[in-house]
Structure 1
Amino acid sequence: MNSPSSSSAFPRYLLALTGPSGVGKTTIGEALAAAAFHCIGKPPIITTRVPSVHDGNEYCHVTTEEFLELKETGKLAAETRLSPERERRWYGYRAEDLDATWREGKVPVVITEMRLLQGFVARYGRNAVLSCGLLPPGAGKRAMLAVLLHRLRLRDRDSEESIRGRIENAKRDLAFFAERADLFDYLLVNDNADAIVSILEGHVQAAIGNFRRCLAL
């Protein structure tokens, strides 16, 4: 598929993957960007979290002071702060990084939670956000949380305090899917990452195709 050469000829869509820690947002986002590199880009997450050997190219690490300056000067498209507060974990996306992805003729895929998703919708409008909620497998909330807890411990990246904080956040994230169903186009259970990637690539291709058909009218 040929890519438009400028953002003026390209829809300012973004694909938001929302879900609790351990559900597989990063894995799916990276796989999607690799499988559909011609039409999907993955801008970096700006964060104050402590760097990890597992981070790869996902994050751009800044100090808390630098992050707050970006926030106060309106350079962040969306931002959030996650618990535990002792870890001072701010996350966000720079508007200029999204603009750069659109200029390449690609749809940015962003990793979100409830506040980040609402921030993107507030800035760009609901119709600009192709929003997918990712759920862990499990028959009910307790089973889903058990799956997330197992995954978080299995990846062996976080302290027990951090894991507890992530599980508390996960409880709110799962409730958010029902409370704000209007913010989601799709809810998908991540029990097969390859299948999820294929489904999402199809949705992005369809969104781009619809935009181009509208231009041709």
Structure 2
Amino acid sequence: MEKKKSVFVIVGASGSGKSTVLNRLMDIHPSKFGYSISHTTRKPRGEEKDGIHYHFITLEQFEKDEKDGKFLETATVHGNRYGTSFEAINHVISENKICVLDLNIDGALSVKKTDYNSLMILVKPPSFEVLEKRLRDRGTETEDLIQIRLETARKEDGLFQKHKDIFDYTLINDDLDKAVAELEKFVKDFFNF
């Protein structure tokens, strides 16, 4: 029996625009998608709300949940812990929605090891210079954090190349409207809607 197509994984370096194209797609088709809300030990930024943007939890609770096998995947990013719980994924699927997972490369590799039938999309900026400009234009991080994110992006790009066979599609985000249209077409084709 064929696995139900129910998980949509989007991967990209910080500043690639993956969240922007994803949010646009979800705005176009609000009833089709549900976001798996990740757990994190980092503090909320700006207007972020617990249970909407992330489940903000303590490191102690995170480690307990991890030990108890509640996460599909976990990662340490910029000194903070992140995890995708099976409960959050299955909650979205139970609502007959396509579960959206915004993950790093390790998370995407973890999804490939599960029974979920997933669509894997890699979002990349047109160049490293554009990526740096986007990070700076956010105005939300210190220079030190920008440098950490740039170094992480360089390392991630090597991992993306190493594991390029897991991705169904690589989206170059050089024009937002074009990128959203391409993503929409690919997702509609895969999920048949």
The reply to whether TM is greater than 0.5 is: yes
**TM-score of the superposed pair, with normalisation by structure 1:** 0.80
* Residue 163 (structure 2) pairs with residue 204 (structure 1): no
2:114 is paired with a residue whose SS is: helix
The structure that is helix-richer by fraction is: 1
* Residue 133 (structure 2) pairs with residue 150 (structure 1): yes
* Residue 123 (structure 2) pairs with residue 134 (structure 1): yes
1:66: which partner in 2? Answer: 61
**TM-score of the superposed pair, with normalisation by structure 2:** 0.89
Tell me how far 1:12 sits from its aligned partner.
4.6
Instruction: Give the aligned length.
Output: 189
2:168: which partner in 1? Answer: 185
RMSD of aligned residue pairs (Cα, Å): 1.9
The answer to whether the 8 A contact 2:5-2:191 is kept is: no
Which segment is superposed worse, 177-186 or 49-58? 49-58
2:14: which partner in 1? Answer: 21
Tell me how far 1:168 sits from its aligned partner.
1.2
Alignment of structure 1 residues 1-217 onto 2, 5 Å: 11-55=4-48, 57-83=52-78, 88-124=79-115, 128-138=117-127, 144=128, 146-209=129-192
1:123 is paired with a residue whose SS is: coil
Q: Counterpart of 1:190 in structure 2: which amino acid?
A: N
Q: Counterpart of 1:61 in structure 2: which amino acid?
A: F
Q: Counterpart of 2:27 in structure 1: which amino acid?
A: A
Q: Counterpart of 1:30 in structure 2: which amino acid?
A: N
Choose 1 or 2 for highest CA Rg. 1
Residues 1:80 and 1:124: Cα distance change in structure 2 (over 3 Å):
farther
Q: Is there any run of 5+ residues in structure 1 with no aligned partner, and where?
A: 1-9, 139-143, 211-217
The 2-side partners of 1:68 and 1:197 are apart by 37
Q: Is there any run of 5+ residues in structure 2 with no aligned partner, and where?
A: none
Which segment is superposed worse, 54-63 or 105-114? 54-63
The 2-side partners of 1:129 and 1:59 are apart by 22
